[in-house]
Chains A and B, each alone.
Chain A
Amino acid sequence: MLSECLRLVGVAIGELVDVGLTIEPGEIVCLSGASGSGKSRLLRAVADLEPHAGEVWLGGQAQSRTPGHVWRRRVMLVPAESHWWAETVGQHFADEPANAELQALGFTRDTLSWQVARLSTGEKQRLGLLRAIGREPRALLLDEPTANLDGETGERVEAWLTARIREHRWPTLWVAHDRRQIARVASRHWRIASGRLEEGEVAWA
């Protein structure tokens, strides 16, 4: 089992400056902040989708010394809104997901032959997570992974995600708004306020 830390050193993008953060293997760090504060852009910097300052390390591997697509395959960003380009759901998967995984998210094998145009926002979000995790990443960046799901489904997906993260020991940066969700999943919580990261509490009394 690989266990690597995800380490941000002096990362700066947009308004955010000098972000330093180490996420241990299997640890979930939640990130919150007002909309427009740069949470998503920080994730994009960590995935190296936008020019930024600073360095990100996955174990001993530096972002700047890894080809872009190799880095992004390892440090997998799952956006809040997933995009689909082929005709059917199954065409977007590198390998067919296991039945158990499909069922855990409320799907069946049939889902793979569904037309993408027919998917609802919530279905897209769940399938987007499954699609990303199927590519065998080594760290996860989740942008509001349960934002478009109703309460019950959201908790089910959340439980499934945290189980996967613990099992594979992926260091995870998780953007979340909901305090209760942060309390359930995170071991640490950082808030973005006026261009800086500050440590927030995980659980509210």
Chain B
Amino acid sequence: MGVIELSWWQLALAALMVVMLAGCTAALRLGMSRSLLIAALRTVIQLALVGLVLEALFAAERLVWVVLMALAMLLIAGREVMARQQRRLLGGWTFGIGTLSMFLSSFTVAVLTLTVVIGPEPWYRPQYAIPLLGMLLGNTMTGVALALDRLTDTACRQRGVIENRLMLGEPWQVAIGDIRREAMRSGLMPMINAMAAAGVVSLPGMMTGQILAGTAPGLAVKYQILIMFAITLGTGFGTLAAVTVGSRRLFDGRERLRLDRLSAPRS
């Protein structure tokens, strides 16, 4: 069974309904019709462009192009982590920490999954590598951004507590220990919730896609489990790494709390 062809006019029908929704939000004065329409437009343009890129990539099937694509995705994800912070670490540290921790976790898990578990021929076959990395990066990005934001925000609000603990002679790791654990938990929580609800409350997107494309549900389920585990690994280790490095950066060599290394909160 093949996939039923979708033509542009059929998409236009769906788009028309989005416009109707925008009309309703305008009538209710929610003040978000504009951003809704812009976001919808961005979806069309971005996905159309990435479709072109993927077609070229699949046709070429060269390692160097796959790597370049992966790097571009990583840098955009790093920028997105930075954009989601109320308070950034100054001097590009948020971008650096976010990008590095996503690189370490997502890329390692993606390469391991490709070479050891799935094993396409060649291992970097773009049909497997790019979607896998995309799902990993997308979720890791959410976890890392949430955890870093929680870390810096809580450190600012609990400055008095951290400094009082330092005054009592506690090492910096102990003084910020509770806050660090809380930040790590907030980064891991979405993935744990997603795994707990998978199949019961929500049908995961990739599995749905594969079933729509004609894959037997049994195989789609196996792929989905693999992806969920890979995403959890990537998000988990990425979050742990980002919070570990980020919390170190909040202190200097003399173990002083240095909130002056954070930008002012965005209004």
Residues of A within 8 A of B (CB): 47-51, 67-70, 72-74, 76-79, 81-85, 131-132, 135, 137
Residues of A within 8 A of B164 (CB): 79, 82-83
Number of A-B residue pairs at CB separation under 8 A: 59
A134 closest partner in B (C-beta): B168
Do A72 and B167 have beta carbons less than 8 Å apart?
Answer: yes
Decide yes or no whether B122 CB sits under 8 A from chain A: no
Q: How far is the CB of B57 from chain A (nearest CB, A)?
A: 50
- A81 B167 Cβ-Cβ under 8 A: no
Does B23 sit within 8 A of A, measured CB to CB?
Answer: no
Interface residues of B, CB < 8 Å — how many? 20
Determine the distance from Cα of A45 to Cα of B219 in the docked complex, in whole angstroms.
Answer: 64
User: A interface, by DSSP: helix, strand, loop or mixed?
Assistant: loop
Which B residues lie at the A interface, using CB under 8 A? 158, 160-161, 163-172, 178, 252-257
Q: Could you say which of B161, B166, B253 contacts A69, with CB atoms under 8 Å apart? A: B166
- Complex Cα–Cα for A131 and B253 (A): 26
In angstroms, Cα B117 to Cα A200, docked, is 77
Chain A residues whose C-beta falls within 8 Å of the C-beta of B163 in the assembled complex:
49, 79, 83
B2 to chain A, nearest CB (A): 61
State the Cβ distance, A8 to closest chain B Cβ, in Å: 17
Please pick, from B158, B160, B168, B254, the residue contacting A68 in the complex, using a CB distance under 8 A: B254
Known: A68-B253, A69-B166, A76-B167. 15 other contacts (CB 8 A): A49-B163, A49-B166, A49-B167, A50-B256, A51-B254, A67-B255, A68-B166, A68-B256, A72-B169, A73-B168, A76-B169, A83-B160, A83-B165, A85-B161, A132-B168
Q: Which of B166, B254, B257 has the most CB of A within 10 A?
A: B254
Bound Cα distance A68, B169 (Å): 8
Contact, CB under 8 Å: A81 / B160: yes
Q: In the complex where A50-B256, A83-B161 touch, is A69 in contact with B167 (Cβ < 8 A)?
A: no
Complex CA gap A135/B169 in Å reads 8
| Least distance between B181 CB and chain A CB atoms (Å) | 13
Residue of B nearest to A47 (CB): B167
- Inter-chain CA distance A52–B161, complex, in Å, is 22
Q: In the complex, which residues of chain A have a beta carbon less than 8 angstroms from the beta carbon of B165? A: 83, 85
B12 to A: closest C-beta gap in Å? 57
* A-B interface, 5 closest residue pairs, ranked by CB to CB distance from nearest: A73-B169, A68-B255, A83-B164, A83-B160, A68-B254
Contact (Cβ within 8 A) A69 B178: no
Bound CA–CA A84/B168 (angstroms) = 12
Among B163, B164, B167, find the residue whose CB has the most chain A CB atoms closer than 10 A.
Answer: B167
